[in-house]
Structure 1
């Protein structure tokens, strides 16, 4: 089994140690996820968007290529081939202003492209392995407030607006809320006990 992890955090996936202003709870969760997956004999393929210097902005030429079903550049073509060969896709990012950061949005815009990863007319995915989609996020907003007051906009955009629309039905969200208010010991316990 193969898993592609798309990691989006400015400090990158290497920021798992407790170093102030250079640490990411998400990176610590990533480390735990990789340990778990490897223990299950799962091949892990990391796409670290910031480490890869991914450009999320869609230029006029990018859009012209996208409309013709042509990969925008070699990096995008590589990402697309890796997604076509996977059994599971895990997105990891912080929730900012109630949705995904620009890198993740740009990844979806540029990589999950018509005629390459889905058919434009039928909206049928070309990911023939029907990969499981898992999303792991962190946010400052309390979970109850995010779901019941803001209406969980991320789930509407990702699950309903992207994956369900293209017939990828296996979707699960793991949200970590207000971890910045927890003690180091509480955060470590959350990391150690997390299971996909």
Structure 2
């Protein structure tokens, strides 16, 4: 499969960075082609401008500012997101990626507003590798928006045809090296079996 890996963390020495490298290594070893989209390294601009918002529904002109990213998304047969959870949500950079890229004519057809049609039906697999600072019960209490974004919203854009999985490490605030190593190994194994 051709896998788009969307990575979002500004620090190259972070545990998220180690997870990102484990994802890439194991997907490639499993024979997948990988498009590594490192949002910070690429200098992705997460801010939707006034002009962009005014032209949001103007298909296909709305895609001009992100033409390269639109093409990368259209080539993807699978997507793996790798990011930390901050304030119980997506990092602003990744939220901006969703806001700007998942637009009419790319992620959904809104020509009939009463019957919006998903357009990411070419995506067969969605996965996420995510860290949380707090425990699982706290994420659940807060509604766990990142989990819902990946396992519900992204699946909806594939007409609920893509299989989705979510690999979460909770309570980074009290992480220990052995527990981190076990999670890293678990993620590597999941990516090695990715299909």
- Alignment partner of 1:125 is 2:118: yes
- Which consecutive residues of structure 1, in runs of 5 or more, have no partner in the other structure? 16-22
Return the alpha-carbon distance in structure 1 between the equivalents of residues 119 and 183 of structure 2: 36
| Paired position in structure 2 for 1:107 | 97
Give the superposition deviation at 1:176: 0.8
Q: TM-score, normalised by structure 2?
A: 0.84
- Which consecutive residues of structure 2, in runs of 5 or more, have no partner in the other structure? 191-195
Inter-CA distance 162–41: structure 2 relative to 1 (3 Å threshold): closer
* Contact residue 79 and residue 123 of structure 2 kept, 8 A: no
Give the count of matched residue pairs. Answer: 184
Return the alpha-carbon distance in structure 1 between the equivalents of residues 152 and 91 of structure 2: 18
Greater Cα shift, 174-183 or 25-34: 174-183
| Paired position in structure 1 for 2:137 | 144
Return the alpha-carbon distance in structure 1 between the equivalents of residues 185 and 138 of structure 2: 26
* Contact residue 32 and residue 191 of structure 1 kept, 8 A: yes
- Partner secondary structure for residue 109 of structure 2: coil
Q: TM-score, normalised by structure 1?
A: 0.84
Give the superposition deviation at 1:171: 2.1
* Contact residue 79 and residue 111 of structure 1 kept, 8 A: yes
Inter-CA distance 125–193: structure 2 relative to 1 (3 Å threshold): same
**Pick aligned residue for 1:37 from 8, 11, 27:** 27
Return the alpha-carbon distance in structure 2 between the equivalents of residues 135 and 65 of structure 1: 31
Return the alpha-carbon distance in structure 2 between the equivalents of residues 60 and 72 of structure 1: 15
